[in-house]
Amino acid sequence: MSAPNTLTATELAQRIDAGSLTAEAIVRSHLDRIEQRDAQVLAWSHLAREAALERARVLDRGPRQGLLHGIMPRRWRWPRLRARSCWARR
């Protein structure tokens, strides 16, 4: 079986529906991959591992909530950046 972090959203949804994969397993797979690669890419300044795992556990306990249930959060909660991005229009 392929690692969850290598599957498409469709494949993940099918496996969640079949009961062969959980949201927690998906999050753990992605966290493991981040841990393997972040020393090289330095993409994360903060990663809320426990919060992500807890949210996945909550999703696993509840009823299915849409097509991307357990794959993506229903609402991204990124903090607003106060600094101006170098890509922002001037």
Report pTM.
0.75
- Contact (Cβ atoms closer than 8 angstroms) between residue 62 and residue 24: no
Span 36-57, mean pLDDT? 89
Q: Helix, strand or coil for residue 30?
A: helix
Q: N- to C-terminal Cα distance for the chain?
A: 48
Task: Say which residue, 73 or 1, is predicted with more confidence.
Answer: 1
Report pLDDT for 89.
47
Report pLDDT for 46.
83
Distance (Å, rounded) from C-alpha 74 to C-alpha 69?
8
